[in-house]
Structure 1
């Protein structure tokens, strides 16, 4: 009987693009724009299943910023991240995981080309930030244009003990300016 209760408490967490920004995987989405700087994000991600009252940790997928401004100055940019609440069905108190329970860390760059000083927003899990507000994900602080940086952020969701099992959907938004 305990096994059955644990299985009924499982939830599935999905991250989806918002309807206005829905795009096939690998498509560039421009939410805030600096001419010559683009960000490419996963259109969807299945973060897996977790248990009510537990937590779920998974990688979101590759996020890429491409700066093609050449020698234009200044050649700096800031990529930010935020999240909506994760909701099952019509939502409500027992069908919503607040965005403040969603944590994010960028990790180090997994690939970069060109010049510039690239700084991750959160290098390690110990520096994870909650997405109840807009946070810095990555930054370029100096150098020329014509470069690319890719990172694979990790998401951790603290699943409340008082929600119902189900499939929860939310949106994690990356932007670059």
Structure 2
């Protein structure tokens, strides 16, 4: 009976000692009035570089054949949550042709007659934000650049960490006198890289 009691006490002491020594590793033992340092580590996570555009839009000002339908496209937002040391990005934009009816020549407006003007943006973060086009105004004449080739809508360079920009571009269409009446539909495509 005494043997079992001793073995039990030794086992209890071992369990208690294990519980005491299994805590965090001590940073240091320091004398009185001496700085005693602990190394601390934390993580800043990286997000994504994303662009948000309207699903659809309609120009607010219509016009007769040979005139200039125009209006704002809606908010375009770039959110750069990468937390990069070099958070540079550029948004490019291009358009398709716009058509109505059977898309005959009289029912087509070429993307060379579609104008884009980014204008100013609301921005957050540091670095340099640059509009692709400024001085946007109601036509005539159309302001901005034609969308028959890829154009720069907005860009960011310099700075560090996260940033964002939101702009509402003006789109103007120069219709021909030969274009028939109708609702013309096409696509404006933005890409951030």
- Normalised TM-score (structure 2): 0.70
Q: CA RMSD in A?
A: 1.4
Q: Which has the larger radius of gyration?
A: 2
Uncovered stretches (5+) of structure 2, i.e. residues with no partner: 1-46, 138-142
**Retained in 1: the 8 A contact 2:99–2:186?**
yes
Higher RCO by CA contacts (8 Å cutoff, separation 6 or greater): 1
Distance 1:176 1:147 in 2: 14
Aligned residue in 2 for 1:65 = 78
More strand by share: 1
1:74 Cα deviation from its structure 2 partner: 2.4
Q: Which runs of 5+ in 1 are unaligned?
A: 1-34
Q: Does 1:175 align with 2:191?
A: yes
When normalised by structure 1's length, the TM-score is: 0.76
Aligned residues: 141
After TM superposition, the runs of 4+ consecutive aligned structure 1 residues lying more than 6 A away are none
1:103 and 1:175 mapped to 2: Cα distance? 17
Report deviation, 1:118: 0.4
Q: What are the superposed Cα offsets for residues 61-104 of structure 1, whole Å, 9 maximum, x if unpaired?
A: 1000000011x232100001100000002201110000000001
Which of residues 150, 163, 168 is equivalent to 2:166? 150
User: d(CA) in 2 for partners of 1:42 and 1:56?
Assistant: 19
